[in-house]
Structure 1
């Protein structure tokens, strides 16, 4: 694995988490792991290691390959530090995210971070974002399911508890919604 590629990717992820709603181009991984997007594979190779756990929703055959690429260990959704949601996942399977770790008041950092693949981060439902890293508010158009947004709201209801999400689209763009970001659908 190219060390410089993962360093650049880490900086992009930090920038995305710092500025919610900002869309950034992510690099491709030199490794293919179908059905995951190449950029999702690189994000996994950047953030996963032998000290963290992960779960994959819906695509069980991918789990062993992720372990081989990263040294991380697969876990149940409710125990995973990172949860990968491939774009092939159906809406029924997204309901499994309701049990994702959201930390506790003594250790809010012991929560899950999601890598959520979507079709498009520049077209879709209109969402208004507010919170740290956003001046006043920003509006985005993204192909994010309303069902997932409802689950995210439920998991993030009691700050500092909650989940952080990195969305990755089929064109290799990434955008983050940290737990501190309030999301409202604009109708």
Structure 2
């Protein structure tokens, strides 16, 4: 799909202020794993769509679109699990972010449909010398509260925290557990649903109830 400048999805109305506001929410989400935060920065084009976008509207919801706009730049390739010309064009135009051809090449990844989530070892998880050179993955889920409850513990959680997303494949938790022995390497996740977002850093332990 070819997008004209007029059809391009708008970015932040106040790029400096809005980027800082979203970045603070993203930091808070990772520092308090399992806690639901809401991104209130207005982005009228970032409406959740259940069908492929045909009008220049990105298929990502507000939280995912705002987060990628706030984090991405020319040095952070983004991998989209589902081709989305509108989202790709908006990220290139507003953030100067290149698209990654494969998950392994991405600094950030966005998975709009969990059925398209690749095996987690397909993403970069850093190295012993540079564990920070790993992917941060945003996954859209159907709900952050209606699934089977999980018990989270670890840094940022006083005792335990319950998290109950829906739509993730069962293998996700098995594959994530397999990455734990590689710490400090690993992958940080954000789960998004509309304007809501939950952080799950590599340091968080997850128990199935």
Match of 1:77 in 2: 103
User: 1:139-154, aligned counterparts within 5 Å?
Assistant: 139-145=162-168, 146-154=170-178
Match of 1:63 in 2: 88
Give the drift of 1:132.
0.4
Match of 1:106 in 2: 129
- The separation in 2 between residues aligned to 1:157 and 1:57, in whole angstroms, is 26
Give the drift of 1:180.
0.2
Aligned partner of 2:186 among 157, 162, 173: 162
Tell me if structure 1 keeps the 8 A contact 2:137–2:190.
yes
Q: TM-score, with normalisation over the residues of structure 1?
A: 0.89
User: 1:127-138, aligned counterparts within 5 Å?
Assistant: 127-138=150-161
Q: Structure 2 regions of 5+ residues with no counterpart?
A: 1-11, 47-56
User: Over the residues paired in the alignment, what is the CA RMSD in angstroms?
Assistant: 1.7
Give the drift of 1:20.
0.5
- Bigger radius of gyration, 1 or 2? 2
Q: 1:40-61 CA deviation, whole Å, 9 max, x = no partner?
A: 1111110001121110002243
Give the drift of 1:116.
1.1
Give the drift of 1:22.
1.0
The aligned length equals 182
Q: 1:84-132 CA deviation, whole Å, 9 max, x = no partner?
A: 111xx252x2125431000010000000001111111121121000110
Aligned partner of 1:9 among 8, 16, 22: 22
- The separation in 1 between residues aligned to 2:154 and 2:114, in whole angstroms, is 30
Secondary structure, counterpart of 2:34 in structure 1: coil
Aligned partner of 2:43 among 9, 29, 35: 29
Give the drift of 1:144.
4.9
Using a 3 Å threshold, how does the CA distance of structure 1 residues 153 and 59 change in structure 2: closer, same or farther? farther
- The separation in 2 between residues aligned to 1:5 and 1:20, in whole angstroms, is 23
Q: Structure 1 regions of 5+ residues with no counterpart?
A: none
